[in-house]
Amino acid sequence: SSAACQLGFYKSAPGDQLCAKCPLHSHSESRAARVCRCDSSFYRAVQDPPSAACTRPPSAPVNLISSVNGTSVTLEWGPPLDKGGRADIVYNVVCRRCAGDAGQCEACGSGIRFVPQQMSLVQGALTVTNLLAHTNYSFWVEAVNGVSDLSLESRRAAVANITTNQAAPSQVVVVRQESTGQNSVTLLWQEPDQPNGIILEYEIKYYEKDKEMQSYSTLKSKGTTATISGLKPATRYIFQVRARTSAGCGRFSQTVEVETGKPVSLRYDTMTIVWICLTLITGLVALLVVLICKKRHCGYSKAFQDSDEEKMHYQNGQVKFPESKFYVDPHTYEDPCQAVHEFTREIEASRIKIEKVIGSGESGEVCYGRLKLPGKREIPVAIKALKAGYTEKQRRDFLSEASIMAQFDHPNVIHLEGVVTRSKLVMIVTEYMENGSLDTFLRKHDGQFTIIQLVGMLRGIGAGMRYLSDLGYVHRDLAARNILVNSNLVCKVSDFGLSRILEDDPDAAYTTTGGKIPIRWTAPEAIAYRKFSSASDVWSYGIVMWEVLAYGERPYWNMTNRDVINSVEEGYRLPAPMGCPTALHQLMLDCWQKDRSERPRFSQIVGILDKLIRNPDNLKCTATVNRFTQTPFDRGLLDLASCLTVEDWLDSIRLGHYRDNFAMAGYSSLGMVMRMNIEDVRSLGITMMGHQKKILSSIQAMRSQL
């Protein structure tokens, strides 16, 4: 008979085979053991053979980061430091809804959506949508492996506690026709089931049936009823209603079709017609006399005439109804103070407490401070102040910017709190945006956001520009440096004083008319002929899209302004940034159509981005560089010949802080780097998905150059 195995050894079956030492974290309890039992707190999965080491559940994931955007949250985390000796790590996310400060929490329920899924996640990231507004949530992210179910201990998890922001209202569900006339329709509707805040107004969209793509009109109403007048008789119209809160607009209701009344035929005898004609002629003559008198004696200023002409142009050309709001250019006022007093709120200087300077220029400073208005809580604000010794032109431009800003009210446009003009220090007070300008913010957090987060930022900028465009306002200087970001990653369009801001802008160039234009962001027709329009703003928006996807990269890199102008005129366009989805680069190219009539409107851009957010699978296909778009901008791409070392290469893609990771793992040449795959990159301890993607995209680009 064969000899029995000693303690610490085992033999799985009787016979002459040699005794084997017990696997790691296991022991034999007696001589002649046929299997080694696992040590305390260690386990062997059902599918593991007796020769396999005993393992244990993993520790909690690390570096859990949450990012709230309205009623959705994006979670990202790194792998556990202790994987328990196993490689089959997956992640589960548990959602709890918590009430108030008492800490009572309950399961979130079935209405919440987890993207890509809630359980058995392989990657360390997911997005949770359909959360309730203004609600506390607790998310527990636990790592599990093949023996987690065998352990009696409670699972260890990383926890993120968040509070959702205000959400847009839900859809207006019930809309019905109350009355119909020959030229008007009265509608009645119910408040949304989930207003998610105070409803500021309702927007009614209407158009002739089957003619939505040709033109449509909108009307605003403070209540749940509205009469739409000025309609054609005997015509079928389509109506939709949506609600708006400070968080934005909800979805439009289902369409309601209404036909206006038929015209009533009237018959008059000859004398009646004669009297009507005489009355009209007399009225016209009287009106003409009054107008001549006013022109000669009443002394209306040229500024007011221009302003009235401009408003009438917009009313006749775009919208038919007096309820619609339009931007009024303060430069049409002879005295800018008049525009300031008409549009803005004067704040007493004693209500403002300046705490620190956060920016400075040649003619002014930007400060952080606190504002306390009577009957309201104290709020953080940004304060723009003119420096002592300012010129009258600088003061006029400064106040004009406030007059422009005061006319806007949209969650994606910077909000003006008021102005201080009755003290020696002239100030503009706006809401405070914690994360500053978008370009600097993106460069600081290079590669740290998911594509859905970036698209969400672009959607916010597009919504703000749609609002400004609908008011008839042309920005002229739309760029990432002029977008501000708050603590919830909400982007807001800002900087409405083009002439003042461009004084010290190195990206500006003189044109033949003496003004300055930010060449890299400006449409060709605006550079050549100074034809600024919403379509030229759309071109600039395409450049902003590129900046966002490139994490604040300088458009056209180190090309001169003259080279940019010539190249764009020849048909060259910026290539897709690394990892940019095809759908987003195509939208950029649409914004850069040479014929401005071919560019999409901001309303269409927002619609496209909304569809991409609802269908994130369409963002998985990444763009390939088209040689037509790449030349002559390939100077901005990786030049393999200029990268002699791994350190040079990492510096060229702005990831030089990973030098030690590569060096300690033995990657001493670019040839070794080019053989790396995703698992190799992760093994270096690079957990940020954006950085992983950037490294792999660059490796792919190097391979293509060989």
**CATH number, domain with residue 405:** 3.30.200.20
In a domain, 191, yes or no: yes
Active site residue 210: no
192, 134: one domain: no
- Burial level of 213, CB count in 10 A (0-12/13-18/19+)? exposed
* Least confident residue range of 57-61, 226-230, 252-256, 641-645: 641-645
Q: Residue 650, SS3?
A: helix
In a domain, 11, yes or no: no
pLDDT tens-digit profile of 153-163? 888 899 998 88
570, 526: one domain: yes
Give the active site residue among 477, 495, 507, 537.
477
What whole-number distance in Å separates Cα of residue 6 and Cα of residue 2? 12
End position of a domain, from candidates 105, 134, 163: 163
How much is the average pLDDT of 624-645? 48
In a domain, 318, yes or no: no
In a domain, 212, yes or no: yes
Q: What is the band of 643 on the pLDDT scale with cuts at 50, 70, 90? A: low
pLDDT tens-digit profile of 298-319? 333 333 233 333 333 333 334 4
Torsion-angle region of residue 472: left (phi > 0), alpha (psi -120 to 50) or beta? left
How much is the average pLDDT of 595-599? 92
pLDDT of residue 623: 56
What whole-number distance in Å separates Cα of residue 356 and Cα of residue 359? 9
Q: Tell which wins on pLDDT, 599 or 31.
A: 599
pTM of the complete model: 0.48
Residue that the structure tokens 């009024």 belong to: 328
Cross-strand bridge partners of residue 185: 180, 228
Cross-strand bridge partners of residue 78: 62
Q: Which amino acid is at 530?
A: R
Alpha-carbon Rg for the chain, nearest whole angstrom, is 33
pLDDT tens-digit profile of 599-613? 999 999 999 999 999
What whole-number distance in Å separates Cα of residue 193 and Cα of residue 471? 29
What whole-number distance in Å separates Cα of residue 132 and Cα of residue 138? 13
Task: Check: CB of residue 478 under 8 Å from CB of residue 521.
Answer: yes
Q: Residue 295, SS3?
A: helix
In a domain, 267, yes or no: no
pLDDT of residue 705: 63
Query: Does the pLDDT at position 372 exceed 80?
Result: yes
How much is the average pLDDT of 279-297? 71
What whole-number distance in Å separates Cα of residue 457 and Cα of residue 128? 17
pLDDT > 70: percent of the chain: 84
In a domain, 68, yes or no: yes
pLDDT tens-digit profile of 427-465? 899 999 999 999 999 999 998 999 999 999 999 999 999
In a domain, 669, yes or no: yes
340, 457: one domain: no
592, 444: one domain: yes
Q: Give which of 144, 175, 170 is closest to 157, Cα–Cα.
A: 144
185, 156: one domain: no
CB neighbour list of residue 481: distance below 8 Å, 6 or more residues apart? 437, 438, 439, 440
- Burial level of 356, CB count in 10 A (0-12/13-18/19+)? exposed
588, 440: one domain: yes
**In what helix (H) or strand (E) does residue 133 lie, and over which residues does it extend?**
none
Torsion-angle region of residue 568: left (phi > 0), alpha (psi -120 to 50) or beta? alpha
Cross-strand bridge partners of residue 106: 97
What whole-number distance in Å separates Cα of residue 138 and Cα of residue 117? 17
Size (the chain), residues? 706
CB neighbour list of residue 229: distance below 8 Å, 6 or more residues apart? 183, 184, 321
**CATH number, domain with residue 605:** 1.10.510.10
538, 613: one domain: yes
pLDDT of residue 508: 45
In a domain, 141, yes or no: yes
How much is the average pLDDT of 414-420? 92
456, 574: one domain: yes
**CATH number, domain with residue 699:** 1.10.150.50
Query: Does the pLDDT at position 239 exceed 80?
Result: yes
Binding region for ATP: 384
How much is the average pLDDT of 565-589? 91
Q: What sections of 318-437 are H helices per DSSP?
A: 336-343, 392-405
**CATH number, domain with residue 144:** 2.60.40.10
Angle at 26 between CA 22 and CA 27, to 5 degrees: 70
Query: Does the pLDDT at position 165 exceed 80?
Result: no
410, 443: one domain: no
What whole-number distance in Å separates Cα of residue 163 and Cα of residue 169? 18
What whole-number distance in Å separates Cα of residue 703 and Cα of residue 706? 5
Q: Residue 73, SS3?
A: strand
65, 110: one domain: yes
Query: Does the pLDDT at position 331 exceed 80?
Result: no
pLDDT tens-digit profile of 534-544? 999 999 999 99
152, 218: one domain: no
**In what helix (H) or strand (E) does residue 177 lie, and over which residues does it extend?**
strand 175-180
How much is the average pLDDT of 337-361? 83
pLDDT tens-digit profile of 392-406? 777 888 888 888 888
**In what helix (H) or strand (E) does residue 202 lie, and over which residues does it extend?**
strand 201-208
159, 94: one domain: yes
Q: How many domains are contained in the chain?
A: 5
CA 358 to chain centre: 24
Q: Which amino acid is at 539?
A: W
Domain that holds residue 555: 436-501+516-619
End position of a domain, from candidates 431, 459, 483: 431
End position of a domain, from candidates 388, 411, 431: 431
pLDDT of residue 706: 58
Q: What is the band of 497 on the pLDDT scale with cuts at 50, 70, 90? A: low
Q: Give which of 240, 246, 218, 184 is closest to 324, Cα–Cα.
A: 218
pLDDT of residue 198: 74
